[in-house]
A and B are shown apart, each in its own frame.
Chain A
């Protein structure tokens, strides 16, 4: 009993450290990838080689900055915003399996849990945007609400195809089901596409970063934030990206399953490789496409993604009926 509790706590600590370190790594990686795509070098000076310590330096700087709470803000909401932002980014990891026996909590409704947790992210943006008492923050929060609300529908609809195939909502079971057949990206190309687009919109990344559109809204919902609070929003953004990538790897690429019988590489490494594959794809997309307009954003979700996701569910249903 005692050992089980200790083991759970240890797993929790490992996962938390993993996410925080990875979020910092991702910030550095994003700067490097953007630089490479634009024929630049990116951070080079802080830490050699390749400026690896840049994120550490940034976080330290943000830690020591003055904690500014503007006088007319709603103090409770203002303080609460970044904390709520960080929560879903961490909580998603509870159900994501890192390896065969390494999952913090193997819920039998894992997929449902992730869908529910994901919608908390909207709360943080709205809390911060409303509490800041700033017109840009508010516009950004409103946009964000419309955006996240619209994209949650296709995201969850895309997950349904996977759940239908696996016959389970538990992520571990979904991975096991993929081991028995094949990776679901092969069975669910449409579902995967919808998941990828809706997922990128869910984590507020370019081309769907209307809520922080720098050119028109200054910085969006975090205009009034600085120092550590801002850093928390920023880390949460990358935590969310990592969580989304891990989810995509788990649901569509077989999670920690080793492909082509390459079993000598541990499952944890495979899981990381697949996760980072999606991270790179998300960055690649970010530094390729310009931001969409708000009406285009809505059109894409309601007129394209949702019909396609529904079609995917119908096709999956027909396929299952015919082949089983």
Chain B
């Protein structure tokens, strides 16, 4: 008798398994066809820092060096000079993306709202040198070119 009960039990559990796969068979696939379809990034997604510009499209960075000091991985290089109006302005601002850990500390440190975190995540390139983002690139990204959202986040 236990043999028959065992067989009945086996058949019942097999049918349960078949029902599960049949249900999954006719439910929607969760695959994303990546290059054509893209994720909707969660709010506050943090990519790498970009430079913000003022109304005239110039950088707000004064090359004060606070971000350089704040950076834990030492990836920011800033050089500044006196501008025409006598104020200091950044002439060179390089982000070494090969070491950046996207920690937001530079943005927190910036006193001039010149930095923000972008949501850019497609960073692949063919040469290591391409990961050195110069000031023009970062300003361009900061104007929202190829960047969906800019988050400034908390300030110190």
Contacts and interface: CB of A to CB of B under 8 A. Distances in A.
6 contacts: A36-B25, A36-B26, A37-B21, A37-B25, A288-B18, A288-B21
Contact of B27 (A35, A39, A287): A39
B29 interface: yes
Contacts, number: 37
Contacts of A36: 24-26, 29
The 8 closest A-B pairs by CB, nearest first: A288-B21, A41-B31, A288-B17, A37-B25, A37-B21, A39-B30, A41-B29, A40-B31
A258 to B, nearest CB: 27
Contacts of B2: none
A44 interface: yes
Nearest to B20: A288
B12 interface: no
A168 B72 CA distance: 85
A38 B33 contact: no
A237 to B, nearest CB: 21
A39 B27 CA distance: 7
A284 interface: yes
Contacts of B17: 288-289
B interface majority secondary structure: helix
Contacts of B7: 304
B124 interface: no
B14 interface: yes
Interface of B: 7, 14, 17-18, 20-22, 24-31, 33
Contacts of A219: none
A174 interface: no
Contact of A44 (B21, B24, B26, B33): B33
A218 B8 CA distance: 35
**Which of A33, A38, A288, A304 gathers most chain B CB within 10 Å?**
A288
A288 B13 CA distance: 12
Interface string A275-295: 000000000110111000000
B18 A38 contact: no
Contacts of B25: 33, 36-37, 284
A37 B27 CA distance: 8
Given A36-B25, A304-B7, A41 B18 contact: no
Interface in A250-297: 284-285, 287-289
A87 to B, nearest CB: 33
A41 B33 contact: yes
A304 B6 CA distance: 11
